[in-house]
Amino acid sequence: MKKPVYLDYNATTPIDEEVAKEMIPYIETFYGNPSSSYQMGKQNKEAIEQARKQVAGLINCKPGEIVFTSGGTESNNIAIKGIAFANKGKGKHIITSSIEHPAVTEVCKYLTKYGFEITYLPVDKYGAVGIDDLEKAIREDTILISIMHANNEVGTIQPIEQISSIAKSKGVFVHTDAAQSVGKIETNITKLGVDLLTIAGHKLYAPKGIGALYIRHGVKVENIIHGASQERGISPGTENVTGIVGLGKACEIAQRNLGKNQRHLLNMRERLLKGLLVELNNIVTVNSDLNNSLPNTLSVAFDKVEAHTLASLISNDILISTGSACHSGLTRISSVLKAMNMNIMTAASTVRISIGKNTTKEEIDFAVSIITNAVNRLL
């Protein structure tokens, strides 16, 4: 077993071997510009279109509805600002949730400078938004609802299908940041019913710095980056062909193995939680609703154990993340845990353990024993 054991797959994932193999020719040999009309250019253009089909296959949309971007952050920016500026004549009200990633909340905050009003929906103790709250929040001038598919810290899955159906009846666009869910659970556009969906490559075993945005056919976004006509002018600039080829392959692999991976992740998470409960039963609090969360994510608090101290104590053996940021001795709890109304002690004791598709039983058992020993030392 290689140490430290990586259990922070919601932060990022390693590049899949098959993905890397697919990318190598585009690093070593095929360097032509996809916009060039000679063969070496055309070859790269074809590779991009093949990847577009692979991404579309995973989320069940048409290839023409996929725009390649530099990642989750750019996709969210294009979706939210693009819809806001294209529809400002209709209204200037946007609804989001109080547990979004900064790649959504900071975009919303920026839009307030241009007269947009933002409603942040509250969440329950597990981080789920309420449909009643959403219905009450929709106004005559609401143009967009942007709610993440699954949360990065606690893994909670939002009722996107219901949200889309309500939004549709009111003529409101829906965007979902699916950076954490694509490749881990089903993200079928037909079922989700959204107009825009964000994909981040590095969360599904593709490289960092590549992503995609699904834009439903016929939905107009105003360009927020200006340049040449690549990616329909929505994400202009010479394409990251190597990254795009990698993302395409990663999506093909994810589609092929979705069911198998989901079962494996659930088994590993169950083994991990069981192990922790056997050893530390009376001090473990599970923060997420395990029946409605990403199969790989376990957010847990160990009573009276400071999460940063724990994570750093075990970092030579296993890598996990915490639910708080620690700056100059002050602990600031995450906005997600705060929105879940978690008491400050539990939040400061919260760690996120996120499992990968290749995580083994041995790694999980090792993590249980390392965490148990460290927690017992810190109590």
Ligand X SMILES: Cc1ncc(COP(=O)(O)O)c(C=O)c1O
Q: How far is the CB of 71 from ligand X (least distance, A)?
A: 3
Q: How far is the CB of 280 from ligand X (least distance, A)?
A: 28
Q: How far is the CB of 210 from ligand X (least distance, A)?
A: 8
Q: Is the peptide bond before 236 cis (omega within 30 degrees of 0)?
A: no
Cα torsion 223, 229, 232, 236 to 10°: value is -60
- 32, 40 contact by CB (below 8 A): yes
CA 249 to chain CA centroid, nearest Å? 18
d(CA 294, CA 282): 25
- 155, 107 contact by CB (below 8 A): no
Q: How far is the CB of 180 from ligand X (least distance, A)?
A: 5
List the structure tokens of 283: 């001090």
Catalytic residue among 61, 108, 251, 326: 326
Q: How far is the CB of 342 from ligand X (least distance, A)?
A: 19
C-beta closer to ligand X: residue 211 or 295: 211
Binding site for ligand X (CB under 6 A): 71-73, 101, 103, 148, 152, 177, 179-180, 200, 202, 211
d(CA 20, CA 23): 5
d(CA 311, CA 307): 6
Tell me if residue 326 is catalytic: yes
d(CA 319, CA 191): 35
Cα torsion 62, 67, 72, 73 to 10°: value is -150
d(CA 151, CA 273): 19
d(CA 175, CA 163): 10
- 148, 113 contact by CB (below 8 A): no
List the structure tokens of 27: 């690093």
d(CA 185, CA 59): 11
C-alpha gyration radius of the chain: 21
Q: How far is the CB of 196 from ligand X (least distance, A)?
A: 13
- 76, 235 contact by CB (below 8 A): no
Report the Cα–Cα distance between both ends of the chain, in Å, rounded. 28
Q: How far is the CB of 103 from ligand X (least distance, A)?
A: 4
C-beta closer to ligand X: residue 195 or 306: 195
C-beta closer to ligand X: residue 299 or 313: 299
C-beta closer to ligand X: residue 148 or 254: 148
Catalytic positions, written as ranges: 326
